[in-house]
Chains A and B, each alone.
Chain A
Amino acid sequence: MKSFVYHQPKTVADAVRLLSQRDTMAIAGGQDLLGAMKDGLFEPGHVVNLKSLPGLREIRETSSGLQIGALVTLTEIAEHPVIRRDYTALAEAAESVATPQIRNVGTIGGNLCQRPRCWYFRDPHVHCLKKGGDQCYAARGDNRYHAIISPGPCYIVHPSDCAPALLAFGARVTIASAKGTRTVALKDFFQMPDKNLKGENILQAGEIITQITVPKPPAGTRSTYVKVREKDSFDWALVAAAVVLQIQGGVCRRASVVLGGVAPIPYESAEAAKSLVGKTVNVQTAAAAGSAAVAKATPLEMNAYKVPMAEAVVKRAVLAAAGVTG
């Protein structure tokens, strides 16, 4: 790790002012960033410690929903009784992240803003497209863990487990910059590589997430997060799905289906959601939602397996969310 000047701002205004300067990066829990700095992937001369900011560590329940400070840890989210009850998919997603040690330190803000795990991107010696090089090595290389849905030219998958769950609940993020704050729907936060090759979201230099707002789900909402990985003791999702359903009188009134591990962003499948609305959730309708979710998949050479897997994961998540045994 290159040596750096460590800034401890006491206000968000100070933090974003510092962050608007060159060669400067924000650190929250550091569970992603420190590793990348050790690898020499990033070598900022200045690091701004968001942990020194007050007021970003609370989970607040309001009449309209939840406000989660960007510095809330994943453990806090996974263990929060209200989140477990009313926002089950989020609690389950947070709990599925990495390991107890990482969840005790890693923050929700960092989870949303963490960088991709693509092995070409992470190798500081490989100058790939995302880093300003002239080719995506995954397109022709070992792409077993890469995207099955991407407009190109880059095929990373978004690594966050919490993002699909938050997106499925219609969460918004509050972004602070020198100009003040704004809130953006999470679905408009993430960007496909054809829009933004170097980053994965709309954040500009000098911007940070301060808070995540999750609207209160309507009565009858049930949700779950299903993650398939090669091994159970910490692993990234091969495929994951967050499913939020509102069920009334046995019929699905509203649905959102967001997949992880399949695209450069948490991938919301409107087709899958649409296929469920107005139907009774059963094995057939759940399976149909699974098929709808992968209808647009165009797998690469080594990751076609993710297509049937995603179908199954969506089907299971739908059934589990609805409390129907398959």
Chain B
Amino acid sequence: MTATLTGPSASAASATPPVIDLRAGRKTYTTGSITFEALRGVDVRIERGEYVAIMGPSGSGKSTLMNVLGCLDVLTSGSYRLAGHDVGDLDEVELAQIRNEEIGFVFQQFHLLPSLASWRNVELPLMYRGVPRHERRERAALALERVGLGDRLDNRPGELSGGQQQRVAVARALVGEPALILADEPTGNLDTSSTEDVLALFDELHAQGRTIVLITHEPEVAERARRVVRVRDGLIQGDGPASALHDDRGYLHHPTSHDDDTQEIR
């Protein structure tokens, strides 16, 4: 990671495999006799160092996509390579390991363990990787400093504001140096100023060369990303630079009327 601190996309294109390489991804949910196809053939490729927002209305399949990208769920058909690993034929234990090493999650509900101090929440991914205790504490402290909570190591989540809790969660996502930071509606439960704090943090992390995929339905959040992938009814409907959002605000409300030809094949 340290090698790609500047100009990540330029160096990534040549040697390193894309962080995300999803092809013809389909996901079918079966509830009793009812089957529902939440992803209907999705292709997404995201290079190292990119900052991508996945947008779409509620029920469009964003969370399903996030679960697949995060290796929390497997595709019904199609192929998915994460940082060069073919995820398709991994078992439960191998999936756990790849989540641990390659992905840092940030959830809408923070998902911090309320009984543990900040640094103990942050060290969790390292614990399942067998990092020795003293090193875990050091690295957790560094990650918390990085998100501006160096003075809150021993506070429990209950003693922190919502914005601070989400920053603890971001520190937890960072601590293991994963290939990908995957955030599902990270600002969904935050007020405006905390939202700004967290988004500023993502900007910073992106500037430092991190790969970030952020799922949201808020245009204000999506426009902070460099690239926006639009999902609707289980299909990719648009993929282009975030600047396009400014031109067609209305598009978000009437996506079918928009002809999105800016999609690049990457």
Binding between chains A and B? no
- B positions within 8 Å CB-CB of A: none
- A positions within 8 Å CB-CB of B: none
